[in-house]
A = this chain, B = another copy of it.
Amino acid sequence: MKRTGDLKLIQELNRSIILETIRKYGSISRSEIAKKNELSPTTVTSAVAELINEGYVVEGGTGTSSGGRKPILLNFSPDNHYLIGVSISYSKITIADMNLEAKINMKKVYPTNGYTGAALINYLLQLLEDFYAAQQDDRQCIGISLIIQGIVDSKKGVVHYNPVLLLEDVYLRDSVEAHFNLPTWLDNDTNAYVLAEKNFGHFQEVENLIYITIGEGVGSGVIVNNMLSRGESGGAGEFGHTSIDYHGELCSCGNKGCIENYISWPATSKKIMKEIEAGKETILTTYLTSDKLFITPSEFVEAVHTGDGLAVAINDEIAEYLSAGVVNLVHLFNPEVIILGGDVTNQNQILIDAVQQKIKDKTLKTLYQDVDITTSSLGKEFEMVGAASVLLQDKFQFKLTHDNRGLKTNL
């Protein structure tokens, strides 16, 4: 059922706009807010009064005046509420409490201990209970946000498919919600990352944005028209399982030539080891010891920067394959920004530059001019910021849309 129009709707919308303005512009006066949004000063005054009352906003100092009463500056107050972010990866569960700006207060990392399926869920609930119990101050908890790899239906709160952790159609959100009696969110990890870039990164104004992550697997989060594209059951953005070679190698998904098989870290790692075993001279061998028979992504990136022959060649190969996939994305989504994230691209500007360069001649000119290939604008805590973003986006970002040309009074 569509929501109908009533006075409450007006108020919520305006309060949301006002709070968003304060969050975005930092120290800002009431009258400035009114001007920016074409709202009346009174509306702003009364909405701000409530926001102050609820602890979302504080008054802080006065601004400068060019002849008149000095403005009272308003600031977003992120520390009166907190939220709990949870990231579930193959090897570890990370839990943190954060303020409303996704700033971490306390973070704990636990190994998954090989738990899978129902045992993993029980383990998670236990960890969360301990963590929640340790939060003993007067801040108000606005909810819990969980992110996890795989196909996740965020609307229903279901993990449809996670073959490594052996989760299939698990109603994780409802379990947690019932257990803690706190509003709970659940989403796919790459979806969370792209929301993080959109809400807390450098790409807040970008309406069509793609985040690609290259690590154990290859995935993506896609924002179309300012909204996350989740698809029918949460499976949108499976970039790793788009094919770039019709005649390519068979993938576990049944398709041939999936990009994941060319550029994921396991694929790359395998390629490196093969070359080493074949006796190829490379600096990468120095990272191997009798205790550690593998190379890490960051070691690889380091070797690329030293100009190591093998590393540079393989890095270029990744760029080559990746750019083939990226061209398809540009032609399908016409995005403004494509962010390359994950272990392999981290600190690897050479790779990013190579992709930007390589797609140039393979892309329709108009679309190439629009797109910028770049790196993540968030730091190392992008996982927790992602989890926070899922919750905050849903709770506070309240928008009106009317197709593409804005709202008009033409009915």
Query: How many angstroms between the C-alpha atoms of A232 and B235 in the bound complex?
Result: 23
Stretch from A72-80, A84-92, A308-316, A392-400 contacting the other chain? A392-400
| A241 on the B face (CB < 8 A) | yes
Q: Is the CB of A254 within 8 A of B361?
A: yes
Contacts of A234 in B (CB 8 A): 334
Alpha-carbon gap, A361 to B253, bound state (A): 8
Q: Flag whether A242 is at the interface (Cβ < 8 A).
A: yes
Q: Is A98 among interface residues, defined by CB-CB distance under 8 A? A: no
Let me know if A225 and B229 touch, CB within 8 A.
Answer: yes
Q: A404 near B155 (CB under 8 angstroms)?
A: yes
- The interface stretch among A4-12, A105-113, A292-300, A342-350 is A4-12
Give Cα distance in the complex from A361 to B257, angstroms. Answer: 14
A136 at the interface (CB under 8 A from B): no
Pair B327/A243 contact, Cβ less than 8 Å: yes
B228 & A1 in contact (Cβ 8 Å cutoff): no
Q: How far apart are the CA atoms of A363 and B255 in the complex, in Å?
A: 6
List residues of A (134-189) whose CB comes within 8 Å of B's CBs. Answer: 151, 154-155, 160-161, 183
| Interface members, chain A 220-279 (any B CB < 8 Å) | 222, 224-225, 227-239, 241-248, 253-257
Residue with the highest number of chain B CB atoms closer than 10 Å, among A208, A244, A257: A244
Query: A335 touches which one: B232, B367, B409 (CB < 8 A)?
Result: B232
State which of A15-23, A60-68, A378-386 sits at the interface with chain B. Answer: A15-23
Q: Are B362 and A254 in contact (CB under 8 A)?
A: yes
Task: Tell me the complex Cα distance, A2–B244, Å.
Answer: 40
A331 interface hit (Cβ, 8 Å): yes
Q: Are B245 and A328 in contact (CB under 8 A)?
A: no
Q: What residues on B are CB-neighbors of A227 within 8 Å?
A: 224-225, 227, 401, 403-404
Tell whether A335 pairs with B231 under 8 Å between CB atoms, given A10-B10, A393-B403.
Answer: yes
| Residue A285 is within 8 A (CB to CB) of chain B in the complex | no
Cβ of A69 under 8 Å from chain B:
no
- Distance in angstroms from A399 CB to nearest chain B CB is 6
Q: In the assembled complex, which residues on chain B have CB atoms less than 8 Å from the CB atom of A27?
A: none
Q: Total interface residues on A, using CB and 8 Å?
A: 96
Q: Is the CB of A399 within 8 A of B402?
A: yes
- Are B225 and A327 closer than 8 Å at their CB atoms? no
**Most interface-central of A15, A235, A255, A395 (chain B CB within 10 A):** A235
Select A233's contact among B242, B334, B395, beta carbons within 8 Å: B334
Q: A130 in the interface, Cβ–Cβ < 8 Å?
A: no
Does the CB pair B331–A238 fall under 8 Å? yes
Decide yes or no whether A370 CB sits under 8 A from chain B.
Answer: yes
User: Does A364 have its Cβ within 8 Å of any Cβ on chain B?
Assistant: yes
Contact of A411 with B by CB under 8 A: yes
Q: Tell whether A291 is near chain B: CB-to-CB under 8 Å.
A: no
A410 within 8 A of B: yes
Contact between A228 and B404 (Cβ–Cβ < 8 Å)?
A: yes
Other than A151-B366, A229-B333, A242-B331, give 6 A-B pairs with Cβ distance below 8 A: A155-B404, A230-B334, A233-B367, A238-B367, A253-B362, A397-B403
Pairs across A and B, CB under 8 Å, 29 listed: A4-B39, A5-B14, A6-B10, A7-B10, A12-B407, A12-B411, A15-B411, A154-B405, A207-B232, A208-B231, A222-B332, A224-B225, A227-B227, A231-B335, A233-B334, A233-B370, A238-B334, A239-B331, A242-B331, A243-B244, A243-B327, A244-B246, A246-B248, A246-B257, A254-B361, A254-B363, A395-B410, A397-B402, A398-B407
Identify the A interface with B (CB < 8 A): 1-17, 19, 37-39, 151, 154-155, 160-161, 183, 207-208, 222, 224-225, 227-239, 241-248, 253-257, 321, 324, 327-329, 331-336, 361-367, 370-371, 393-407, 409-411
